[in-house]
Amino acid sequence: MKAFVIQHYGQKKLELMKVPMPAVDDNEVLVEIRAASVNPIDTSTQRGGMKFLLHYDMPLILGSDLAGVVIKVGSSVTNFQIGDEVFGRVNKNKIGTFADYLAVDQSDLALKPINLTFEQSASMPLVSLTAYQILHDMMKIQPHDQVLIQGGSGGLGTVAIQIAKRMGAHVATTTSAKNEGLVKSLGADQIIDYHHENFADSLHDFNFVIDTRGGKTLRDAFKIVRRGGQIVTISGIPNYKFGKTYGLPLWKQMLLSVASFRNTVLAHKTSVKFDFWFMKPSGQQLMVIKQWVEHGSIVPVVDRVYGFGDTQQALDYSNTGHARGKIVISHQI
């Protein structure tokens, strides 16, 4: 089969290679990939930015999101059968969706929403699971809670706005003027043009913030959250608590403690709960997302679709930071 790989971290361009077909374990299914989507973690992994948290052997096939068709099932598989159309975000230790086929644990998959194309379905798993796990599992959003979602026109933002609104929250978001119409159509109640306004000057007494930027933007979030509120970042430096929960060795936990010290102090001074979140694959939660999609509560936002042969161009576009919604790679064009 064909796959896009890197031979080492920092490799500028992906290499298209012929590689062996994946072996299928008892609890896995073999998926013929029809579409995959690009996420910031893909380009970060290519650069070597995830080495501190994730170890991979080389050569490495990149890609985490997929939609496709089951063509083989392991002996212990009970959830799927040959011919099922599925979508999912694969386990961090089994990435490789920028390829023709991939063996995936059945617990990481769900049946594809019947009203979406493979390309639309592939755009959903990582961002929808991240948003759901933060808003539902961590923050436990209640009706009328106020939540700021940074980067509302991005891949995570476009989904998080919709999920937060479905849960009854009052949603504020940051974006540029050209994307105000998009985020408003998704349900945003307050829209801040970050080119002309600092959200910390206009928002006050919020319950929650989802940070997608890190740095000063993350530090400014502490200014708008009420005491007892919560900030969850997917972009800032992981803290000691995350390192311990993630199972990192003690020396790495200590390094994270030092690197995130400034944010830890801010959290203590403001009495705000602060967490770093790394999404966990879940076919069960994708079934919830699938139902919401089929009922029209969540609509995927896809910026561009590239052919499989143009996978590197898709990553290059992702690196510009200008995508509205998700970037998808299709085997069908």
Write the single-letter amino acid at 87. F
Write the single-letter amino acid at 164. A
Indicate whether 135 and 98 sit together in one domain. Answer: no
Residue 218: inside a domain: yes
Q: What are phi and psi of 189, to 5 degrees?
A: -90, -35
Distance of CA 316 to the CA centre of its chain: 18
Indicate whether 148 and 96 sit together in one domain. Answer: no
Residue 108: inside a domain: yes
Number of domains in the chain: 2
In the beta sheet, which residues pair with residue 175? 193
Indicate whether 255 and 160 sit together in one domain. Answer: yes
Indicate whether 104 and 180 sit together in one domain. Answer: no
Q: What angle do CA 34, 292, 113 make, to 5 degrees?
A: 25
Indicate whether 137 and 100 sit together in one domain. Answer: no
Domain boundaries, position 15: 2-124+300-330
Helix/strand number for the chain, H first, E second: 12, 16
In this predicted structure, the answer to whether residue 240 has a pLDDT above a threshold of 70 is no
CA distances from 61 to 1, 9, 12, 52, 99 (A): 12, 12, 14, 19, 7
Share of residues in the chain with pLDDT > 90 (%): 82
Distance separating alpha carbons of residues 67 and 112, to the nearest angstrom: 7
Residue 293: inside a domain: no
Q: What is the CATH number of the domain that holds 190?
A: 3.40.50.720
Distance separating alpha carbons of residues 32 and 102, to the nearest angstrom: 7
Indicate whether 317 and 204 sit together in one domain. Answer: no
Cβ neighbours around 141 below 10 Å, total: 21
Indicate whether 157 and 117 sit together in one domain. Answer: no
What is the reported pLDDT for 150?
96
What's the pLDDT tens digit per position in 274-321? 999 889 999 999 999 999 999 999 999 999 999 999 999 999 999 998
In the predicted model, what is the mean pLDDT of the chain?
94
CA atoms within 13 A on the CB side of 13: 6
Instruction: Give me the sheet containing 170-175, strands edge to edge.
Output: 190-193, 170-175, 146-149, 206-211, 225-233, 273-276
DSSP 3-state of 77: coil
Q: Quick check: 218 and 264 in contact, CB under 8 A?
A: no
Residue 285: inside a domain: no
Phi-psi region of 296 (alpha: psi -120 to 50; beta: other; left: phi over 0): left
Residue 290: inside a domain: no
What is the reported pLDDT for 121?
98
Q: What is the CATH number of the domain that holds 311?
A: 3.90.180.10
Residue 284: inside a domain: no
Please give the full DSSP string across 110-163, using - where no structure is assigned. EEPPTTS-HHHHHTSHHHHHHHHIIIIIIS---TT-EEEESSTTSHHHHHHHHH
Average pLDDT over residues 149-175: 97
Indicate whether 166 and 242 sit together in one domain. Answer: yes
Indicate whether 115 and 135 sit together in one domain. Answer: no
- Contacts of 4-7 with C-beta under 8 Å, sequence gap 24+, read 4/61, 4/62, 4/63, 4/98, 4/99, 4/311, 4/312, 5/59, 5/60, 5/61, 5/62, 6/46, 6/58, 6/59, 6/60, 6/62, 7/58, 7/59
Indicate whether 257 and 318 sit together in one domain. Answer: no
Cβ neighbours around 25 below 10 Å, total: 14
Residue 103: inside a domain: yes
CA distances from 92 to 42, 61, 119, 238, 305 (A): 11, 12, 21, 17, 24
Q: Quick check: 326 and 38 in contact, CB under 8 A?
A: yes
Indicate whether 204 and 143 sit together in one domain. Answer: yes
Residue 287: inside a domain: no
Indicate whether 323 and 225 sit together in one domain. Answer: no
In this predicted structure, the answer to whether residue 191 has a pLDDT above a threshold of 70 is yes
Distance separating alpha carbons of residues 267 and 84, to the nearest angstrom: 46
Please tell me what DSSP assigns to residue 236: S
Confidence bin at 260 (pLDDT 50/70/90):
confident
What's the pLDDT tens digit per position in 102-130? 999 999 999 999 999 999 999 999 999 99
Q: Quick check: 58 and 46 in contact, CB under 8 A?
A: no
What is the reported pLDDT for 2?
98
